[in-house]
Amino acid sequence: MTNEDEAAIARLPGTAWETSLEQDGSLQEGYFVAELTGLNTRKGWPEGTRLIVRRVKPSGRQARKLTGFELKTGWRYSITATNIGRMWGIAGSHQPQFLDVLHRDHAEVEDRVRTDKATGLHNLPSKSWDVNCGWVLAANLAADLDAWVRLLGLHDVGDLADAEIDTMRFRLYHVPARLANHARRRWLRIEATWPWADAFTICWQRLSGLPAVT
């Protein structure tokens, strides 16, 4: 946010603000969006760039980071720059509410950066380009496997469906169990008092039941 952004927002009439939408299309009460394109004075932006401004009542945690303009108006603002004018075949795709919810949903994808860092991308191990390439590949494979485990095996298992990688590592991946061989079969003997034994078993059975890739 710049001073020019805030000056442009101050010129918006009250009727320009519309209630934001949830991902399912329902109203997101307390959140508002408006078209800022044309009022902003930024120079050098690509032709066709649109600016969508969003406002929400700030939380206590955000209070210390508010600008003077935000303190005066009582709203916290954020701006999305997009080159989407209208998506062919999708009614209403040019509306500020549609573009706002579209980009908020994409932000959830970007949020998985934390998972990548937790699986090894926080630091690179070597000065060698080739070694670091291998490390990045392994870290991304781990992040992908974690995502698919939760999607395919834990989608309805309470707080594990959307758990962070550190939680998954502590609760599920560090299994208090013993792998034994008996009667030409391998047995995973899980500690009966482990709180997540049922969740692990359900996940294992679901993943084992998936058809093999051909």
What pLDDT, on a 0 to 100 scale, did the predictor assign at position 163? 86
On whether residue 101 sits in a domain, the answer given is yes
- In-domain check, residue 103: yes
Kindly state whether residues 8 and 75 are assigned to the same domain.
yes
Domain closes at, from 87, 110, 133? 110
The pLDDT tens digits along the chain (214 residues) read: 788 889 999 999 999 999 988 878 888 888 999 998 888 767 777 888 888 999 999 888 888 888 899 999 999 999 888 887 766 666 667 788 888 888 887 666 666 777 888 888 888 999 999 999 999 999 999 989 998 999 999 999 888 888 888 889 999 998 888 989 988 898 989 988 999 999 999 999 999 999 887 6
Of 153, 134, 36, residue with least CA distance to 142: 134
Residues 64 and 138 in one domain: no
Specify the pLDDT at position 92. Answer: 63
Strand partners, 31: 56
Same domain, 81 and 41: yes
Alpha-carbon gap, residue 26 to 78, rounded angstroms: 21
User: Does the residue 213 lie in any domain?
Assistant: no
- Domain with 105, as residue range(s), is 3-110
pLDDT at 27: 87
Q: How many angstroms separate the CA atoms of 139 and 142, rounded?
A: 5
Distance of CA 171 to the CA centre of its chain: 22
Instruction: Please check whether residue 120 lies inside any domain of the structure.
Output: no
User: Would residue 116 count as lying in a domain?
Assistant: no
Is 0.85 topped by the overall pTM?
no
Cα separation of 186 and 189, whole Å? 10
pLDDT of residue 98: 83
Q: What is the pLDDT of residue 114?
A: 79
* Predicted pLDDT of residue 11: 92
Residue 115 counted as domain residue: no
Q: What is the pLDDT of residue 199?
A: 92
- Report in angstroms the alpha-carbon separations of 4 from 9, 61, 74, 147, 174: 9, 25, 18, 41, 52
pLDDT (0 to 100) of residue 16: 92
d(CA 58, CA 115): 27
The label of the residue with tokens 């008092």 reads 193
